[in-house]
Structure 1
Amino acid sequence: MDGTAPKDAGAAEAGAPDVIGTVDIARIMHAIPHRYPFLLIDRVVEVVRNHSAVGIKNVTVNENFFQGHFPGHPVMPGVLIIESMAQTAAVLVVETLGEEAAGKVVYFMSVESAKFRRPVQPGDQLRIHVTKDRNRGNVWKFNAVARVDGVSVAEATYAAMIMSKAAGS
């Protein structure tokens, strides 16, 4: 699929999940404001609107953070793994809200229970599994697990808020 929404979302079976295909990098860049070097997901391979998403981050030795973290032993910083989780969740929010999200930004609010299980290194592919826990108004809470080759490398619970962009943004 090209990642576009079905033309008649109302035609889906009642109670059936609203699943869309791959969200490519162009659509991610349309959905969230992040750009190099801070765009930390390459695609979202599965979105179940209002429920879950799976983001992909291909980790390469060319990442700018590897110059200093750590020279001779490159390790992806844990906070950037958490940020890739947040960006995957932001795409889920925008895909869920559709036109209602136009002109808005998803802001990170809190992180709880972050755990890092093993280092992420060049050549790894992060698969970021994000599940919506709940949302109330413009505040959304998520659970996420990042895996490499099916093995958990990090997990966290976090919250985000969708808001209008500040004037002049």
Structure 2
Amino acid sequence: MTESKSLSFKVPELPMNIQTIRSYLPHRYPFLLVDRVTEISEHGIVGYKNISINEEYMQGHFPNYPITPGVLIIEAMAQISGILGFVMNDETPQAGSLFLFAGAEKVRFKKQVVPGDQLILKSELVMQKRGIYKYLCTASVDDVVAATAEIIISHQKLEQA
């Protein structure tokens, strides 16, 4: 992914650390699944999640052979896509909107993700229409694709009380 010279939005300082990520995502432990963002371009984003045996889900998801649940890999792809949505719209959850996971299509799992892996998350915007965004996402480990999906996100304005 190459960075465009004429971005239509302001890119935050990179790499984006966990404090900055927390300003974009409303998720918190144990459900915050993006540890760092390393690249942002006009249509895409790259980040990662470090996979640790200390994750709560590892204690019960095949305890003798711990692997990351596929649904959490999909959620991580949705979260990195949500960050891109916020950045492209120059918004944060504090500004009164959310990017909500609305669906996943063409999901495929190709490699197990285990403790010690660094799950590289890539998301590219492929469609935006009336507050609905579709992203082509990949999650990989050591340059081997672990999962792919088309992630659909809905941009919602929150009602102010």
Q: Shared topology, TM-score over 0.5?
A: yes
Q: Work out which structure has the larger RCO, using CA pairs closer than 8 Å and 6 or more positions apart in sequence.
A: 2
Moved segments of 4+, more than 6 Å: none
Q: Deviations over 1:63-87 (max 9, x none)?
A: 0000110111100000000000000
Is 1:71 the counterpart of 2:53 in the alignment?
A: no
The aligned counterpart of 1:109 is 102
CA spacing shift, 1:103–1:70, aligned 2, 3 Å: same
Q: Any idea what SS the aligned residue of 2:89 has?
A: helix
CA separation in 2, counterparts of 1:160 and 1:82? 12
Decide whether the 8 Å contact of 1:17 with 1:48 is kept in 2.
no
Partner amino acid for 1:52? Answer: G
CA spacing shift, 1:64–1:100, aligned 2, 3 Å: closer
Residue 137 of structure 1 deviates from its aligned partner by 2.3
Q: Any idea what SS the aligned residue of 1:98 has?
A: coil
Decide whether the 8 Å contact of 1:58 with 1:123 is kept in 2.
yes
Residue 96 of structure 1 deviates from its aligned partner by 0.7
Is 1:16 the counterpart of 2:5 in the alignment?
A: yes
Which consecutive residues of structure 1, in runs of 5 or more, have no partner in the other structure?
Answer: 1-14
Partner amino acid for 2:36? Answer: R
CA spacing shift, 1:75–1:166, aligned 2, 3 Å: farther
Residue 167 of structure 1 deviates from its aligned partner by 6.1
Which consecutive residues of structure 2, in runs of 5 or more, have no partner in the other structure?
Answer: none
- RMSD across aligned positions (CA): 1.8
**Percent of aligned positions that are identical:** 37
Correspondences of 1:89-100 after superposition (within 5 Å)? 89-99=81-91
CA separation in 1, counterparts of 2:63 and 2:107? 25
Q: Any idea what SS the aligned residue of 2:90 has?
A: helix
TM-score, scaled to structure 2: 0.89
Is 1:146 the counterpart of 2:139 in the alignment?
A: yes
Decide whether the 8 Å contact of 2:127 with 2:135 is kept in 1.
yes
Aligned residues: 153
Residue 118 of structure 1 deviates from its aligned partner by 1.2
Match of residue 39, structure 2, among 40, 46, 61: 46
CA separation in 2, counterparts of 1:95 and 1:84? 17
Partner amino acid for 1:85? Answer: M
